[in-house]
Amino acid sequence: MTVHTGLLRLETEGEGHIVDLTEGVLAVVLQSGVTDGVVTVFVTGSTAAVTTMEFEPGGVQDLRDALERLVPVARPGGGDYEHNVRNGDDNAHAHLRASLVGPSESVPVVRGRLVLGTWQQVVLIDFDVRPRAREVHVQVVS
Amino acid sequence: MTVHTGLLRLETEGEGHIVDLTEGVLAVVLQSGVTDGVVTVFVTGSTAAVTTMEFEPGGVQDLRDALERLVPVARPGGGDYEHNVRNGDDNAHAHLRASLVGPSESVPVVRGRLVLGTWQQVVLIDFDVRPRAREVHVQVVS
Amino acid sequence: MTVHTGLLRLETEGEGHIVDLTEGVLAVVLQSGVTDGVVTVFVTGSTAAVTTMEFEPGGVQDLRDALERLVPVARPGGGDYEHNVRNGDDNAHAHLRASLVGPSESVPVVRGRLVLGTWQQVVLIDFDVRPRAREVHVQVVS
């Protein structure tokens, strides 16, 4: 068995910025030489998430809008979120969105390629309220 | 270390059709001969998702209803989703639901069995707007 | 390749009780002696979920509130959930929340530590309507 570790470092704009990680994940897999295994993609931090989507401008806008609607910046019903009140913070909505979408996805590697669809990319969503430097760990087990 | 690859091919009805994958996943695990490891279940495509649930008619109906309510077919507030407008498409809601639920789950295998609960099944949800042929990759690492 | 199995047994209060699993997960990783690999954390049962968050009282309250708002105890629009009607049950909302958040997360282990952020913990959320004894499987592959 082998474990290969890759680290993607990237700068985001925050505020729901969605970044296509697919090329970076594939580069780690290729560098590992693994042909069959599983790659786990995990973002460090509690205000960002990892999922898959068709990465095109319309879908990107829709996903940002949907999360803003489902978990608004301002607490529905009035008042502020408890995280903000207790900690003098302003990014409670970012924490909530991140927990709902989740920080990791695992993708099988079969015969040297990720089993993603043609219109399916692995993406990072940075929900924080300001630009952030992010670390995404890409772990290949085989 | 060993990696075993299984591929489940299935036909869905789309429109939120939920399919119980548990038997298929277990068949791959049994065929692999693995007694202790992790099985990753991943659906290829950006309009379907994998999660777990108690697979019974009431829960199936409730989950379909909840996702329709949270991410409606018609864009809340009027107008159409950007994905549809820009691409002449009609399944933007399916993309959004798929990204929120996510394409993969990983389940430990302990002493030859999945550590699912008695009333917990691994399911595929196909959110697309028409019947689809789907591929679900089942990767066992041990 | 090696697989190490850990089992966390815990008592929850149900009703959205959120429990920090990080120390327990780390204990399994340390006991395994693994320095580089992936740890999969999976909750058995269809009314609980695993995700990550900043585990502090404000965020805990916000996440419970958000899930209550998104998937209320009472079916939006009136009537009861189908799961409850068909099975004489009262925890349909717990099932829905669990399926949306999902039962598993996988976290890379790099040089003996989990790649979590300083303010990012692995948590269990028990959505059921009563106190429960829960089993969380912690599987380390390396």
Which of A114, B63, A52 lies closest to C75 in space, CA to CA? B63
Q: Which residues contact B67 (CB under 8 A, 6 or more apart)?
A: B16, B97, B101, B125, B127
Please calculate the CA angle B42-B44-B49 and round it to the nearest 5 degrees: 60
A139 part of a folded domain: yes
Number of domains forming the structure of chain C? 1
pLDDT at A142 over 70: yes
Is position A10 within any domain? no
At residue C1, the 3 state secondary structure works out as coil
Instruction: Name which of C20, C40, C42, C53 to mutate to probe chain A: the one with the most chain A Cβ atoms within 10 A of its Cβ.
Output: C53
Question: Coil, strand, or helix at residue A50?
Answer: strand
Q: Read off the pTM.
A: 0.98
Residues 45-84 of C with CB under 8 A from A: 51-54, 56-59, 61-63, 65-66, 69-70
Residues of B in contact with A103 (CB under 8 A): none
Q: Show the domain range for A125.
A: 51-142
Is B46 in contact with A37 (Cβ distance < 8 A)?
no
| pLDDT over threshold 70, residue C52 | yes
What local confidence, expressed as pLDDT, does residue C1 receive? 63
Task: List chains adjacent to chain B, taking adjacency as at least 3 C-beta pairs closer than 8 Å.
Answer: A, C
Instruction: Identify from C52, C73, C85, C99 which residue to disrupt to test chain B contact, counting B C-beta atoms within 10 A and taking the largest count.
Output: C99
- The answer to whether residue B8 scores a pLDDT higher than 80 is yes
What's the pLDDT tens digit per position in B50-98?
999 999 999 999 999 999 999 999 899 888 999 999 999 999 999 999 9
3-state secondary structure of C27: helix
Whether B40 and chain A come into contact, CB under 8 Å, resolves to: yes
Instruction: Give the pLDDT mean for A41-70.
Output: 98
The secondary structure of B83-129 as a DSSP string is: HHHHHT-S-HHHHHHHHHH-SEEEEEEETTEE---TT-EEEEEE-SS
Let me know if residue A112 belongs to a domain.
Answer: yes
What is the CB-side half-sphere exposure of residue C104 using CA atoms within 13 A? 32
CB atoms within 10 A of CB C139: 29
What is the rounded distance in angstroms from the CA atom of residue C18 to the CA atom of residue C65?
12
- Which subunits have 3 or more CB–CB pairs within 8 Å of chain C? A, B
Give B58 to chain A, closest Cα distance, Å: 23
* Residues written for chain C: 142
Q: Say whether pLDDT at A52 is over 70.
A: yes
> Hey, CA dihedral for B109, B110, B112, B117, is it positive or negative?
negative
Adjacent-strand bridge partners of A109:
A37, A114
Decide if A7 is inside a domain. no
Alpha carbon distance C57, A84 (integer Å) = 11
**Confidence band of A1 (pLDDT split at 50, 70, 90):** low
Q: Residue A55: what pLDDT?
A: 98
Is the pLDDT score of B38 beyond 70? yes
Residue B32 forms contact with A (CB below 8 Å): no
CA distance linking residue B33 with residue B142, whole number of Å? 10
Please, which residues have CB within 8 angstroms of residue C56's CB and are 6 or more apart in sequence? A83, A86, A87, C119
Give dist(CA A117, CA B45) in Å, integer.
5
Strand partners, B39: B107, B140
B120 pLDDT band, cuts 50/70/90, is very high
Give the three-state DSSP class for B24.
Answer: helix
pLDDT class for A77, splitting at 50, 70, 90? confident
Cβ-Cβ contacts under 8 Å, A63 against chain B:
95-96, 99
Q: What is the pLDDT of residue B1?
A: 63
- Return the CATH number at A66: 2.60.120.460
- Residue A67: inside a domain, yes or no? yes
Confidence check on the interface: ipTM exceeds 0.85, yes or no? yes
